[in-house]
C-alpha cells in the first residue's frame, strides 16, 4: 500500500498514532500536575528502559500534557554535550517569552529577571531580552557560578511565578544517564529542595537502566526521593493494540494470524512493532494485511533493523569490543557474568575492565548488578550472532 499513507512511525522519538501501555505513567503525571496546582507535593519520576522501548515519546507526551495546562516547561535531551545550565536556559526561553508582558505580576517579572541572571554565564548563547522593563523587579542572583545554588534559586523563582499564573513548572530530561556527575548531583539536589520547600515543580527523567544507580551515586537519598518505573516491552494485548491502532486509523485491518505473527517477532518492543508494521503496510497490496504480506515484509523489516538500529551501534565498537559483545551474545539477551566472559575470551577480568567501561560509556551495555553486564539494545544478541568479527 501507499507509503504516503503509511501510519506506522519507526524511528527515534517519532510519536506513534497509538501510544499504548503507558497509562500508569501518564495518570501518575496528571495526578502530579493536579496535586501541585492544589498546593500539594508530588514525587519526581525516573523512568528507565532499553533502547527503543518508548522513553522519548512518553516524555514528549508528558511535556505536551503540562503545556496543555499552561505550565512553564523545559524539555531537555542530555546528550548534546552542553551543560544543564545552558540547556535549561534555552529550553525555558520560549515559555518565558509567552509570559513576558508589561502587565505581568510581580513574581513573573522577578522570575524573568532571575532568568536573565541564570543565563548570563552561558557564554555562547545570545543574551536574553524580554523587551519589557525589569528595572523594578527584584529577581535573584542565579549566576554565582555554583550551579546547584543557581539552579535552585532560578527554579524557586519560576515556581513562584507559575503560582501567580495558576500553573506550575515542569522539568523533563531525556537521556538523563548522560548528565555529567555535577549536573546530576545538582538535579537531585533540586528535587530534594522542591520536596522540602513545596515548590510547584514536577520533574520527570528518562534514561537507560543505569539511571537509578547513577542517581543514587550522585546523592544517596535519590533512592527514596524518586518514583522509579521501568518502561519495558509491551504485553501481548498492548502490542496488538500498538500494531492494529495505526492501521485502523486508516480503515485498514489485519488478519488475526498476521497480527499474531508480527507481535511474536517484535517481542513486545515498540520500536520493532513500528518497523514491522511499516514494512507490512508497504508490502500489502490491499487490506486486510495477511500472513503472506507479513512473510514478504519480514525480510524488509529485518534489513531495516539490521541496517539502522543494530548496525549503527555495532559499527561504533572496535574489533576487541566486538569480540566482547560476541562473548556476551552467547547468553542471548543476558545478563552475562563478567567472570564467565573472561573465561570465554581466555583473558582476565581486570584486563577486560577498561574495555567493558568503554562499552558502557558508548551506551551499548550496562551493569544490572555487580559482576554482570547486559545489552541496552533488545534482541541485539541475535544480530551479533550473524556478524563476522576478524
Ligand X SMILES: Nc1ncnc2c1ncn2[C@@H]1O[C@H](COP(=O)(O)OP(=O)(O)OP(=O)(O)O)[C@@H](O)[C@H]1O
Which chain residues interact with ligand X by CB under 6 A?
Answer: 9-14, 16, 18-22, 49, 51-57, 242, 270-271, 274
| Residue 71, phi-psi category: left (phi > 0), alpha (psi -120 to 50), beta (remainder) | beta
Give the cell for residue 338: 563478567
| Residue 131, phi-psi category: left (phi > 0), alpha (psi -120 to 50), beta (remainder) | left
d(CA 256, CA 265): 14
What, of ligand X, Mg ion, none, does residue 270 touch, CB below 5 to 8 Å by kind? ligand X
- Do the beta carbons of residue 155 and residue 171 sit within 8 Å? yes
Specify the residue, 56 or 114, whose C-beta has the smaller distance to Mg ion: 56
Specify the residue, 56 or 110, whose C-beta has the smaller distance to ligand X: 56
Window 6-45: contact mask with Mg ion (x via CB under 5 A): ----------------------------------------
Q: Is 376 in the site for Mg ion (CB under 5 A)?
A: no
DSSP annotation of 289 reads: B
Residue 60: CB minimum distance to Mg ion, A: 9
Give the CA distances from residue 94 to residues 42, 98, 186, 348, 387, in Å, rounded to whole numbers and listed in that order: 25, 6, 23, 53, 47
Specify the residue, 25 or 143, whose C-beta has the smaller distance to ligand X: 25
Specify the residue, 54 or 334, whose C-beta has the smaller distance to ligand X: 54
- Do the beta carbons of residue 7 and residue 250 sit within 8 Å? yes
d(CA 257, CA 247): 16
What, of Mg ion, ligand X, none, does residue 237 touch, CB below 5 to 8 Å by kind? none
Residue 210: CB minimum distance to ligand X, A: 12
- Name the one range near Mg ion by CB under 5 A: 49-57, 96-104, 118-126, 273-281: 49-57
Specify the residue, 62 or 325, whose C-beta has the smaller distance to ligand X: 62
Q: Is 56 in the site for Mg ion (CB under 5 A)?
A: yes
d(CA 208, CA 148): 24
d(CA 262, CA 356): 34
Specify the residue, 56 or 87, whose C-beta has the smaller distance to Mg ion: 56
Looking at beta carbons, which residue is closest to ligand X?
54
Residue 59: CB minimum distance to ligand X, A: 8
The residue ranges that bind Mg ion (CB under 5 A) are: 56
Amino acid at each position: 500500500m501507499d507509503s504516503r499513507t503509511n501510519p506506522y512511525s519507526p524511528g527515534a522519538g517519532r510519536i506513534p498514532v497509538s501510544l499504548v501501555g503507558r497509562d500508569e505513567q501518564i495518570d501518575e503525571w496528571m495526578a502530579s500536575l493536579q496535586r501541585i496546582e492544589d498546593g500539594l507535593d508530588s514525587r519526581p519520576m525516573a523512568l528507565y528502559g532499553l533502547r527503543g522501548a518508548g522513553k522519548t515519546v512518553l516524555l514528549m507526551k508528558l511535556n505536551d500534557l503540562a503545556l496543555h495546562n499552561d505550565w512553564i516547561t523545559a524539555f531537555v535531551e542530555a546528550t548534546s554535550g552542553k551543560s544543564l545550565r545552558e540547556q535549561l536556559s534555552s529550553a525555558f526561553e520560549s515559555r518565558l517569552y509567552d509570559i513576558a508582558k508589561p502587565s505581568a505580576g510581580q513574581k513573573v517579572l522577578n522570575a524573568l529577571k532571575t532568568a536573565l541572571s541564570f543565563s548570563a554565564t552561558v557564554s555562547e548563547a545570545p543574551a536574553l531580552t524580554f523587551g519589557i522593563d525589569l528595572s523594578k523587579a527584584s529577581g535573584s542572583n542565579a549566576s554565582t557560578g555554583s550551579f546547584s545554588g543557581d539552579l535552585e534559586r532560578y527554579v524557586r523563582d519560576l515556581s513562584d511565578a507559575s503560582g501567580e499564573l495558576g500553573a506550575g513548572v515542569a522539568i523533563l530530561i531525556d537521556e538523563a544517564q548522560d548528565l555529567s556527575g555535577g549536573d546530576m548531583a545538582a538535579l537531585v539536589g533540586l528535587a530534594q529542595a522542591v520536596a522540602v520547600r513545596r515548590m510547584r515543580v514536577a520533574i520527570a527523567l528518562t534514561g537507560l537502566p543505569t539511571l537509578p544507580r547513577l542517581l543514587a551515586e550522585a546523592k544517596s537519598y535519590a533512592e527514596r526521593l524518586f518514583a522509579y518505573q521501568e518502561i519495558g516491552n509491551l504485553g501481548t494485548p498492548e502490542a496488538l493494540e500498538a500494531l492494529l491502532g495505526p492501521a485502523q486509523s486508516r480503515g485498514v485491518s489485519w488478519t488475526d494470524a498476521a497480527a499474531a505473527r508480527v507481535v511474536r517477532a517484535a517481542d513486545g518492543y515498540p520500536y520493532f512493532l513500528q518497523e514491522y508494521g511499516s514494512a507490512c503496510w508497504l508490502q500489502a497490496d490491499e487490506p486486510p494485511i495477511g500472513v503472506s504480506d507479513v512473510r514478504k515484509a519480514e525480510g524488509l523489516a529485518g534489513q531495516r533493523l539490521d541496517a539502522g538500529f543494530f548496525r549503527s551501534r555495532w559499527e561504533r565498537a572496535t574489533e576487541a569490543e566486538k569480540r566482547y559483545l560476541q562473548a556476551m551474545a552467547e547468553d542471548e539477551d543476558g545478563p552475562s557474568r563478567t567472570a564467565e566472559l573472561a573465561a570465554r575470551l581466555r583473558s582476565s577480568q581486570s584486563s577486560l575492565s577498561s574495555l567493558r567501561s568503554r562499552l558502557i560509556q558508548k551506551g551499548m551495555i550496562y551493569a544490572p548488578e555487580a559482576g554482570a553486564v547486559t545489552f541496552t539494545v533488545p534482541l541485539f544478541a541475535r544480530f551479533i550472532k550473524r556478524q563476522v568479527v576478524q
